[in-house]
Structures are given as C-alpha cells and as structure tokens.
Amino acid sequence: MPIDYEKLKNRPFEPIEQTYTTDQAILYALGLGFGADPFDEQQLHFTFEEEGFSAVPSLAVVLAGPGFWVREADSGVDWVKVLHGEQGIVWHKPLPPTATVIGQTRVVDIIDKGEGKGALIYSEKTLHDKATGDLLATTTSTTFARGDGGFGGPSGPVKGVHALPERDPDRQVDIPMLPQSALIYRLSGDHNPLHASPVVAKSAGFDRPILHGLCTLGVAGRAILQDVCNYDSTKMKSLDLRFSAPVYPGETIRTEIWEDGDTISFRARVVERDIVVLNNGKVTIG
C-alpha cells in the first residue's frame, strides 16, 4: 500500500515525557567513548556526577523521542527499507545536568523522489524542560524510505546540503570505539537488534552488528566539542550532517574539521577502511 501523503503528514504524535538523571547522561557519554582516559579532567565533567558535571549536548537526539514509529502499521511506510539519511540539532539552551523533558514530534513533509527512487520523510522534535517550560532543543531528521517512491506526493523542495571547503582539513581528531560500544550505546534508548545481534545483522547484509548512526553523530560532535570548544558545551549552537556509511564497533572514527569563524565544517571517516561515514557536516558555535 503506497504512502497516504495527507495522513502521514498529519500523523498525530503524543507528547513523550522522559526524566533523565546524571546516571543516564553519563551512560550516554560512555557510549560515545568519553572516559577512555580516566585522568582527563575535562572528560570527567561528562562522566563524573560531582562538581562541574554537564550533559553532552548531543544527548538531545535520544531524549523523549517516539521510537521507531515508521514500523507502526498506520505509517504506511515499508519500514524494512528505511535508512536514516540526515540529522540536525539546534540548541536553544544548554541541556541541564538532569531534567524531566517533554518531546513533541511532527512530520514536516514527505518528498516523493519517484517510482523506484524512494521518498524522503522530514520530521522534527521539540524538547522542552517540563519544570521551566524552556525550549531546550529542536532536532530534525530525514528518513530515506527506499521502498516508498511513486505515491504521488510533491517532488520538492528538498533540503539543501552544506558544501565542505575545498582545502585540506584544518585539523582532525581520532576517537577509537570499543568493540562493545554499540552494546553500551543502545542502553540510551535504541534497542534495534541490528546493533546487538549477529544473526539480525547478517540478515540485513552486514558482517556483524553495526554502530548506531546517532552514536557516530555523537562521536563527531564530541570531537568538535573537545577540539574546537575546549569542552565548553554552551558554545555549540547547531549541528547538521548526512549519514553516508555504517561504522562497526571497534573501529576508529576520524573527524576532519574546517574552521571558518563561527562555522565549523566536518566529515567523519573510518580509519581502518578509509571510508567516509558522515558527510556535509556543519556546526555553528557562539
């Protein structure tokens, strides 16, 4: 059954309430590889709950979300063939160390790329602090529904892509991932067996379980946080990127960085296979 454009675009989402503690914020940081050097006092600000503790900014992507909602029957989406294509974050305020947050998701638009070419589903989540009412972050996501093109929806406009500078990167940061990194990261809310079960991974065409795309995003964000922002999480204002290839746990993620004032361009590659896994990345700082 093809996508029903009006039904999917107006699909209702209940607000999701989630309370996160310092333990959960620390678990998220550990999933990104923070704490590999237990003597690094700056990393301790994200992995030790005492004085000076901060939540990693990219934690916003895993809080109070609707889960893998395209798998629900009323979505009309062939969920087996979907891929996470793009992700964005705008931080309106720094995330508190602990909080109860309210997430509200909506479908912004669905782009029909044509029969056999798939569809793009643009969605957005706002994240509010329940206690204060403050808008903390807005996250945006592009889902590439490979099996759903040709349903008669609009062919545009399509979100633009940030062009990376043509010069060599100004710097690069290598972060090795633990072999068990996906098993740690999934405890932050994404329990898709693709990231834990060798049987499921092989059935999906992978040699072994793959790392979550949002974990790779978090690792690149961490590289910029430490190398550009000197671990000051209040400096990151927005982030956008495209996912281009999967990462296997245990591989090294190299984030290549270009600095142009308050605009930071980046991409990430796996060192061992020399393949770009995140592309067209942009962070604004302030």
Q: Identify the pLDDT of residue 198.
A: 95
For residues 236-253, give the mean pLDDT. Answer: 97
For residues 122-143, give the mean pLDDT. Answer: 98
Per-residue pLDDT at 144 exceeds 90: yes
d(CA 121, CA 242): 14
Which range, of 31-40, 133-142, 249-258, averages the lowest pLDDT?
31-40
From-to residues of CATH 3.10.129.10 in the chain: 5-15+59-145, 171-285
Whether the Cβ atoms of residue 135 and residue 127 lie closer than 8 Å to each other: yes
d(CA 267, CA 239): 12
Q: 93 falls in which pLDDT band (50, 70, 90)?
A: very high
- Reported for 69-73, long-range contacts at CB under 8 A and 24+ positions apart, including other chains, are 69/13, 69/105, 70/121, 70/143, 70/145
Active-site pick, 195, 227, 262, 274: 195
Enter the pTM of the model: 0.94
Tell me, yes or no, if 190 is annotated catalytic.
yes
Q: Identify the pLDDT of residue 170.
A: 98
Active-site pick, 45, 190, 212, 240: 190
d(CA 92, CA 240): 15
Q: Identify the pLDDT of residue 80.
A: 84
| 72 CB neighbour count, 10 Å cutoff | 13
Residue 19 CA, distance from chain mean position:
20
Whether the Cβ atoms of residue 111 and residue 154 lie closer than 8 Å to each other: yes
Which tens digit of pLDDT belongs to each residue from 210-223?
999 999 999 999 99
CA distances from 136 to 9, 59, 60, 63, 208 (A): 24, 11, 8, 11, 36
Tell me, yes or no, if 92 is annotated catalytic.
no
Which tens digit of pLDDT belongs to each residue from 149-195?
999 999 999 999 999 999 999 999 999 999 999 999 999 998 888 99
Per-residue pLDDT at 1 exceeds 80: no
Which of 3.30.1310.10, 3.10.129.10, 3.40.50.1980, 3.10.20.30 is the CATH number of 5-15+59-145?
3.10.129.10
Architecture of the domain made up of 171-285: Roll (3.10)
For residues 193-200, give the mean pLDDT. Answer: 92
Q: Identify the pLDDT of residue 221.
A: 98
Burial of 217 (0-12, 13-18, 19+ CB in 10 A): buried
For residues 109-130, give the mean pLDDT. Answer: 97
Per-residue pLDDT at 274 exceeds 80: yes
For residues 224-235, give the mean pLDDT. Answer: 96
Q: 2 falls in which pLDDT band (50, 70, 90)?
A: confident
* Residue linked to tokens 């996501």: 141
Residue 143: φ, ψ to 5°: -100, 125
Which tens digit of pLDDT belongs to each residue from 7-61?
999 999 999 999 999 999 999 999 999 999 989 999 999 999 987 999 999 999 9
Q: 204 falls in which pLDDT band (50, 70, 90)?
A: confident
For strand 135-145 and strand 171-176, is the pairing parallel, antiparallel, or unpaired?
unpaired
